[in-house]
């Protein structure tokens, strides 16, 4: 049994996580001069990963984000 998305478009959860990651990346770059801890190696990357994962987790799936079963 194979499970697939109904279409090839990214799901709402994926798009929310992607946009959150991009936004946090820009914020870390912008505020790294004012907050020196953000310039430390790995800190910005960890924030991007953590926040984008949390956003992706808490955003509910969209109406068209269903999974369909394909024939065996």
| Alpha carbon distance 22, 26 (integer Å) | 6
pTM of this structure: 0.80
The two tokens of residue 2 are 């194979």
List for the chain the helix, strand, coil content (%; round to 5): 55, 10, 35
Q: 3-class SS at 3?
A: strand
Question: Cα separation of 22 and 36, whole Å?
Answer: 20
Which pLDDT tens digit goes with each residue over 3-20? Answer: 777 777 888 999 999 999
Return all residues near 62 (Cβ < 8 A) that are at least 6 apart: 11, 12
pLDDT in tens, 22-65: 999 999 999 999 999 988 999 999 999 999 999 999 999 888 78
């Amino acid at each position: 049994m194979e499970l697939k998305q109904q279409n090839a478009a990214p799901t709402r959860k994926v798009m929310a996580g992607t946009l959150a990651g991009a936004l946090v990346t820009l914020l870390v770059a912008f505020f790294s001069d004012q907050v020196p801890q953000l310039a430390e190696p790995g800190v910005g990357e960890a924030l991007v990963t953590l926040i984008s994962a949390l956003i992706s987790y808490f955003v509910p799936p969209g109406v068209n984000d269903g999974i369909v079963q394909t024939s065996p």
